[in-house]
Structures are given as C-alpha cells and as structure tokens.
Amino acid sequence: MSSDRIIFSDVSKFYGEVLGVNKVSLEVAPGLTGLVGPNGSGKSTLMHLMTGLLRPSRGDISVLGIAPDQPEELFRVVGYCTQYDSFPNGATGISFLLHALALHGYPKTEADERAWAAVERVGLTDAANRRIAGYSKGMRQRIKLAHAHCHDPQVLVLDEPLNGLDPMGRAEMIDLFTNFAHQGRHVIVSSHILHEVDLISDGVIMIHGGAIVAEGEIRAVRGEITSHPMQVLIRCDKPHDVASEIFRLEHVVEARLLDDGGLLVRTRHADDFFTELNRIILATDVVVETVAPADESVHAVYDYLIGEGVGGGSV
C-alpha cells in the first residue's frame, strides 16, 4: 500500500521489563518534523523502530507503506543517521560511502558520482580519502550525514544530527535538511536543543517517558494548551493606551508593560484577542512595530507540557 505518511499504530517497545515506548500512535506528514524529548525519553527508540533496527513488542509501523522488517524495500527510500559514533575499522570517508552504495546495487561509476556528491554536500571533499578514525567529531558527524542521504532517500531520519558541529557546520546542515524537506520529503530530526528544532521544524513530536505528549504544528499544539494563557508581545508607540484598552477584554488575564517598552499580554482566547486587537489599533490610532506570539515556541510548549524547567534551551 503506497502512502506518503509514516504511521505508528499502537506501538510499544519493551526492553525486558523496561519500557522503551508505550502505545505510540502517530501519523507523520512530509516536511521537517522535530522529535523532542529529554535524554531517555524514547526518541532514539522511536527512530530505531521506524528503521527496523528494533522490532516493536506490539503494534505496527509503516513508512511510506513499507513495513520496517523489509529492509530491501525500506532503505531504498529511507536514510538514517544514528547517534552511534562508531564506524567500520579502517574505513576512509569515501570507501565508507562506496560500500553503502554498492549494497544499494549502484554501478561503480554511479556509486562514485553519488559518493563524491554526498561528501561535497557535507563539506568533506578534501578529507574523503582519509581514514574516519582520524576525523574530528564534527567530521564524523558529517560523514554519517553523507551516508544517510547519499542514495537520495525520500525519508531522512536524523538522531541528534547537529551534535559536534561548529556553528557554521550547523547552519550548513540545517540548510541541507530544510532543502530536503522543501522537496516534499520527510526529514525527522531528533534534538534536545529546543531552539534548533524551533528554527527548522514544520511540525513537532514531543515524547516523554516513552509516551507521545503532543504532535503537530507548534502553533496548533500551543493552541490546545488551554491551561497556560497565550502570551503575545506588542511593540508600538502608545503601549499605555493599548494596555488600558486591552485590559478591558474579558479573556485577557494580564497586560504587563515591560522595561524595554514592550507590552506583554496573556490571553485565554488568542483568536478573539487578535480580532479585538485590530479594532483597538484602529480606534487608538497607534503605530504598531510588531505583534508576535511570545510563547509559541517548542521551548515554551515543551515547558508547559512537560514542565521540567528547560531554561538553557536544551532538555
């Protein structure tokens, strides 16, 4: 059955008596999806299950209509960059890729072209003939990324792909992932660095203790968290006037003037608030610089849902 989705149906994985993931049901659409959760929450287990490196204790998984226990079909369309920082002994960057491409069945010339194109995309052309054992952490991460995408997969699964990369490298790789996603493919990225996920993701899957806490577009997920009023930051030339008007609205629970001149509003009904805000702006004749959600980020949503104090931007 052909599909463009990655589907988990009531999937659980136990390691003996230890829970890996529990009753996960998900449907992931193409695009760049962030998989977020603290260490040990089940992110890697979920990725291993998706790629057949682990078998579910119960439930079914389908990746574009292919079951993960059919590697001969699955890995024509899936590339996986794992978190393992280990490589076959004695391999050079290019021989590592050529071996993978030979297993795909590419003829020598095409395998050569694909391997060199992949090392070029990850910026390792000069080091490609060196042994991986002599690579820096960042270079090892890059060659793993080249390995994951050298066969041009439809689904790219990346477990903490930015670990060990310098800021320039992170920007280059984020570019690579977003380009992939913009071509209508799946890019699933796990990270415990929330602001990175925020920067690149179209949607997010939040996992905690082996269970899915939330999934979907960040805005939609945020909208469903009614226990925490939505925060909106307004910058304008007459914040006092706007604040006094806004405070009369029934669904506004707080309107606070900030030291830098901004106005932070907390409301229980974001849609109603934005409608009313338009009316107020027209009525009070203010010049508005920005109106932006202040807690519509993965970081904030994660904090609300899991509440583990994610101060440093990482979980």
Partner 1 sequence: MTAGLSSAETRLWRGQIWTVAKSEIHRNLFSRRSLAVYLLVFMPLAVMLLRALFMPEALRVDPPHATTEFAEFFFFFFLRLVVFFVNAVIFVRLFRGEMLERSLHYTLLAPIRRDVLTTGKYLGGVVSSVLLLVPATALTYLLVYLPHGRAGLSLMFSASGIANLLTYLLIVVLACLAYGALFMLAGLYFKNPMIPALIFLGWETLTPFLPALLKSLSFVHYLASFAPVPVTLGAFAILARPVSWWVALLALLAASAVLVFLASRAARRLEVKYSAE
Chain residues that interact with partner 1, rule: CB under 8 A = 15, 48, 51-55, 69, 71-76, 79-80, 82, 84, 86-90, 96, 99-100, 102-105, 147
| Shortest distance (Å) from residue 198 CB to partner 1 | 29
Question: β-strands 203-208, 186-191: how paired?
Answer: unpaired
| Shortest distance (Å) from residue 244 CB to partner 1 | 60
Sheet of strand 18-28, all strands in order from the earlier edge strand to the far edge: 18-28, 6-15, 58-63
Question: β-strands 203-208, 31-36: how paired?
Answer: parallel
Give the angle 283-229-206 at the CA atoms, nearest 5°. Answer: 130
Among 119, 174, 165, which residue's Cα sits nearest to residue 141? 165
| Shortest distance (Å) from residue 148 CB to partner 1 | 8
Largest CA distance in the chain: 72
Contact 224, 283 (CB under 8 A): no
| Shortest distance (Å) from residue 89 CB to partner 1 | 6
60, 64, 67, 68: CA torsion to nearest 10: -100
CB closer to partner 1 out of 64 and 232: 64
| Shortest distance (Å) from residue 37 CB to partner 1 | 18
Contact 122, 81 (CB under 8 A): no
Structure letter (DSSP) for residue 229: P
CB closer to partner 1 out of 84 and 260: 84
Two tokens, residue 177: 């992932």
Distance of CA 36 to the CA centre of its chain: 7
| Shortest distance (Å) from residue 207 CB to partner 1 | 19
Contact 202, 33 (CB under 8 A): yes
| Shortest distance (Å) from residue 72 CB to partner 1 | 5
CB closer to partner 1 out of 99 and 228: 99
Contact 109, 102 (CB under 8 A): no
CB closer to partner 1 out of 69 and 289: 69
Two tokens, residue 141: 């991460």
CB closer to partner 1 out of 77 and 291: 77
CB closer to partner 1 out of 9 and 83: 83
| Whole-angstrom distance, CA of residue 121 vs CA of residue 102 | 20
CB closer to partner 1 out of 72 and 126: 72
Tell me the residue type at 166: D
CB closer to partner 1 out of 55 and 248: 55
| Shortest distance (Å) from residue 287 CB to partner 1 | 56
Contact 36, 206 (CB under 8 A): yes
Distance of CA 72 to the CA centre of its chain: 27
